[in-house]
Structure 1
């Protein structure tokens, strides 16, 4: 069996890259989750401050960091960087209390949704950067933006402090081939931030197997990022959250979900990246003198006290009054969503069952189905979505999107066959921002006619048809290619997707007399 890997050697930094010392005291302060305050060159940069519950009152920062909020609000910040619109990075209750004169550094997304939201909040001094574009607010301080260059709207920031390079990737997946190198400190996600598989209705053993696979994939992706950036130190960040609502308490099981603590990965990481220093912090830690993990914070007693302190906040969602969504309202909402995404949907169709507090509808989506059909009994639905009426009302009224609702873990899902439908989930997640689904259309067209690479005697599309990862960094074993981002797999002889979804990969054999060196051979 032939095996090829584009991952590189197991040691993440060479002998010429001895671990460097951390920045000067006070230079970088961790606020918890993906939040930081960076002080340098007489300026203060505030990054992704998150303190209040997110996603329908479901997610809370872990550990509790609320005691830092007064200092953050009172701080004389010159710059504010917000990576994306997810509520565990975009805490509107904090932003509303910040000085509107602050200079806001934002990623340039196709939808302009982040720029518009900040403008609506009164932040008009904006520096909007595209992928790999830089801004130098002071001679010894340079900020460089890195985007997920696919249809997803995520970003990371490289902060250069007079040569000390801090890369804050949070939960952004910049293509591996686009990552910067020579990084002193990498801050990146290790825990999951997705509803799959724990929100799906799987038998217990199946759920455990799928959860283990996702956790393994998360770890693999992290190791690749560490090695490719040459990071000398790594800070586990951007998760996991904690679920204080007792109805969601099962997602606090660190062994059975994709929301583990760093302990679960620490030994394997030390083996995979033996020369990379791991910096574990508590909220408020100065990175020059981190306190490290605090065992007390991981106990049930700590969680119970945290739940009591925030009871008013996690109960607030359940106390909201809302009128049930009528079939006519749902019909109009879904018709509007489809009308905004006609080119994206093409001739796709899907039968979906929606259940909500005792009501059940069969919804036929897709252009060739004509009008949306509501039936008393579902007709062999491929997807079933269980959504509480209170959540459905918020979605139909535009208060939240499906993305936020799914991340809340307040929805239940099932699919038969158990195959991911990229079009359906993209319609729900991105349909309110057609700029994103139009980018997916362009990605499809690029897959058919775009840039190619040659590997193992096969010419294939360079970028993954699922989420745009550069397949020059994909592993190939026994004729099967595995994307390094979400670990979808394709047969190289046919392009058939054999794991992950149903989207094929464009492949064609390279004649022996024309075959050149494998792209991974440099």
Structure 2
């Protein structure tokens, strides 16, 4: 090809956080998701099933999967692809993604750390970005003859580490966690918490747009749709953290009128013309016929009811938690808490200590549930676990007082104990109900459950909470520079009425005491400059 010849570039949207980036004859497949995720609970929205055969049979030159969450890591789809396909893989501490890819038979794998780049073709380069906290998520900057496409999906690198001068940003606008909608809250409290989370999501998105100087934005990576009748309450756009783009767009336009919105539906193509993203025509509104979608996918969401529901025994649960505790002793140093698990007609107390007691799990008779309790096997109107951004940490030095309950359906608990699902997958399924008193997110407890299968991650979680020697000076105070929750730089964080708010996940601290007043219980190191 002569150096003066113009190369054609385009980006096909295949649903959720999935794209096919085209540069002349080169094809990069990104996060293809078609099959149900998280114990058959999440489905892509809108329905992209009409693209499955085309995507599975497509010819590609490289594959990038951002992380192991199954709304990005679709094993069924990945098994349909040639194992000779080159893979771009993030260098996560746990190496879980690398192992998963190798387990599927992919061998041509390029592992990239945070900020590392690789040329794919003349005029085409990819740069890996990582969430450098304990969370294992990644994003990709793709440069096509100078056009910069930043695919953040649902990854949140530090705002100060995001690339600038971005031509097209693809990033999450909807929630993707179980807080607050799986927790037991009175309806007025639930509405308030949902509003707070949605406001925080928009604030984070707008800060991301500003940090990247994004000229155009593609709404993506949410919301999912819940087709199982037991979960359809979570499709409520008003009462949950899963808004549709139409619900968010007016606020986005008001906050960033200079940013072009590239609103596409699965199957649409974005052409790069003159360094700008151009779509052929305005897309049709997203279809909302959930009932029809559910009929088409009944065999898939109905597969959850075919999972084994043999009750878990006390001995099985004790063996499970004893092993989990032993593998995560650094996280649990000086920590203790009793966790209640209810499943079917069974109730257990799990005694979490640095060294597991013998036994670690004790069975008890379940009490009668009060009328507003989260029923075993599902949530009431409202709830998703406290997200890494909106509910906060636990004290590492001592277990917080009060109660923490998990209402886990027998099928889900069986899948966890048998190793068929992780707690993270089970929580994201929205099939677990939660109750806590006081209403504080215990990072240590939830870190143990969510990441305990990969102790290198829980070790990093504890490191993230450590007080850094590096400080900033603001308002006559010497303040810890990096957020103890996920390491965000607090140099330019907002301070209002003596309260500092992290711009990334919106934890907040009273600067007179360093006490965390929103998010959790981890304090911030604060001292007078003199």
Q: Who is 1:96 aligned against? A: 79
State the 1:69 CA deviation.
1.2
State the 1:245 CA deviation.
0.4
Select the structure that is richer in helix.
Answer: 1
State the 1:290 CA deviation.
5.3
State the 1:361 CA deviation.
1.1
Query: Equivalents in 2 of 1:253, 1:272: separation in Å?
Result: 25
Query: Equivalents in 2 of 1:420, 1:115: separation in Å?
Result: 31
State the 1:452 CA deviation.
1.9
Unmatched 5+ stretches in structure 1? 1-22, 512-522
Specify which of 468, 477, 480 is matched with residue 461 of structure 1.
Answer: 480
The alignment status of 1:353 with 2:340, answered yes or no, reads: yes
Specify which of 463, 470, 491 is matched with residue 472 of structure 1.
Answer: 491
Report matched runs for 1:427-446 at 5 Å: 427-445=448-466
Specify which of 328, 347, 362 is matched with residue 374 of structure 1.
Answer: 362
The alignment status of 1:230 with 2:213, answered yes or no, reads: yes
Q: Which secondary structure does the structure 1 equivalent of 2:337 belong to? A: strand
The alignment status of 1:490 with 2:478, answered yes or no, reads: no
The alignment status of 1:331 with 2:318, answered yes or no, reads: yes
Specify which of 406, 422, 429 is matched with residue 443 of structure 2.
Answer: 422
Q: Who is 1:189 aligned against? A: 172
Q: Is the 8 A contact 1:281 1:291 kept in 2?
A: no
Query: Equivalents in 2 of 1:137, 1:281: separation in Å?
Result: 26
Q: Who is 2:397 aligned against? A: none
Query: Equivalents in 1 of 2:492, 2:406: separation in Å?
Result: 35
Tell me the C-alpha RMSD between the 2 structures. 1.7
The alignment status of 1:387 with 2:377, answered yes or no, reads: no
Unmatched 5+ stretches in structure 2? 1-5, 272-278, 368-400
Q: Which secondary structure does the structure 2 equivalent of 1:84 belong to? A: coil
1:369–1:125 distance in 2 versus 1, CA, 3 Å: closer
Q: Which secondary structure does the structure 1 equivalent of 2:251 belong to? A: helix
Q: Is the 8 A contact 1:57 1:316 kept in 2?
A: yes
The alignment status of 1:200 with 2:221, answered yes or no, reads: no
Q: Which secondary structure does the structure 1 equivalent of 2:219 belong to? A: strand
Q: Which secondary structure does the structure 2 equivalent of 1:473 belong to? A: coil
Q: Which moved more, 1:351-360 or 1:141-150?
A: 351-360
State the 1:148 CA deviation.
0.4
State the 1:293 CA deviation.
4.8
Query: Equivalents in 2 of 1:499, 1:393: separation in Å?
Result: 34
State the 1:189 CA deviation.
0.2
Q: Is the 8 A contact 2:9 2:144 kept in 1?
A: no
1:25–1:211 distance in 2 versus 1, CA, 3 Å: farther
Q: Who is 1:28 aligned against? A: 11
State the 1:321 CA deviation.
2.6
State the 1:456 CA deviation.
2.0
State the 1:499 CA deviation.
1.1
Q: Which secondary structure does the structure 2 equivalent of 1:149 belong to? A: coil
Q: Who is 1:519 aligned against? A: none
Q: Who is 1:402 aligned against? A: 423
Q: Is the 8 A contact 1:189 1:239 kept in 2?
A: yes
Query: Equivalents in 1 of 2:149, 2:11: separation in Å?
Result: 9
Which string of whole-angstrom CA distances, capped at 9 and with x for unpartnered residues, describes residues 175-225 of structure 1? 000000000000000000000000001001110110000000000000000
Which string of whole-angstrom CA distances, capped at 9 and with x for unpartnered residues, describes residues 137-185 of structure 1? 1120010011000000011000000100000000001000000000000
Q: Which secondary structure does the structure 1 equivalent of 2:287 belong to? A: helix
Q: Is the 8 A contact 2:465 2:522 kept in 1?
A: no
Query: Equivalents in 1 of 2:98, 2:156: separation in Å?
Result: 21
The alignment status of 1:412 with 2:412, answered yes or no, reads: no
Q: Is the 8 A contact 1:282 1:292 kept in 2?
A: no
Q: Which secondary structure does the structure 2 equivalent of 1:345 belong to? A: coil
The alignment status of 1:287 with 2:274, answered yes or no, reads: no
Specify which of 226, 249, 252 is matched with residue 266 of structure 1.
Answer: 249
The alignment status of 1:67 with 2:50, answered yes or no, reads: yes
Specify which of 145, 149, 169 is matched with residue 166 of structure 1.
Answer: 149
Which string of whole-angstrom CA distances, capped at 9 and with x for unpartnered residues, describes residues 221-245 of structure 1? 0000001100000000000000000
State the 1:377 CA deviation.
5.2
Report matched runs for 1:51-66 at 5 Å: 51-66=34-49
Q: Who is 1:37 aligned against? A: 20
State the 1:492 CA deviation.
1.3
Q: How many residues align?
A: 484
State the 1:471 CA deviation.
1.3
Q: Is the 8 A contact 2:326 2:356 kept in 1?
A: no
1:25–1:241 distance in 2 versus 1, CA, 3 Å: farther
The alignment status of 1:242 with 2:263, answered yes or no, reads: no
Query: Equivalents in 1 of 2:286, 2:110: separation in Å?
Result: 41
Q: Which secondary structure does the structure 1 equivalent of 2:182 belong to? A: coil
Q: Which moved more, 1:266-275 or 1:182-191?
A: 266-275
State the 1:470 CA deviation.
1.5
Query: Equivalents in 2 of 1:460, 1:72: separation in Å?
Result: 50
The alignment status of 1:506 with 2:528, answered yes or no, reads: no
The alignment status of 1:297 with 2:287, answered yes or no, reads: yes
Q: Which secondary structure does the structure 2 equivalent of 1:295 belong to? A: coil
Q: Which secondary structure does the structure 1 equivalent of 2:412 belong to? A: helix
Give me the TM-score of the superposition, normalised by structure 2: 0.89
Q: Is the 8 A contact 1:41 1:140 kept in 2?
A: no
Q: Who is 2:389 aligned against? A: none
Query: Equivalents in 2 of 1:428, 1:171: separation in Å?
Result: 21
Query: Equivalents in 2 of 1:458, 1:440: separation in Å?
Result: 27
Query: Equivalents in 1 of 2:444, 2:282: separation in Å?
Result: 43
Q: Is the 8 A contact 1:324 1:393 kept in 2?
A: yes
Q: Is the 8 A contact 1:166 1:184 kept in 2?
A: yes
1:93–1:373 distance in 2 versus 1, CA, 3 Å: closer
Q: Who is 1:364 aligned against? A: 351
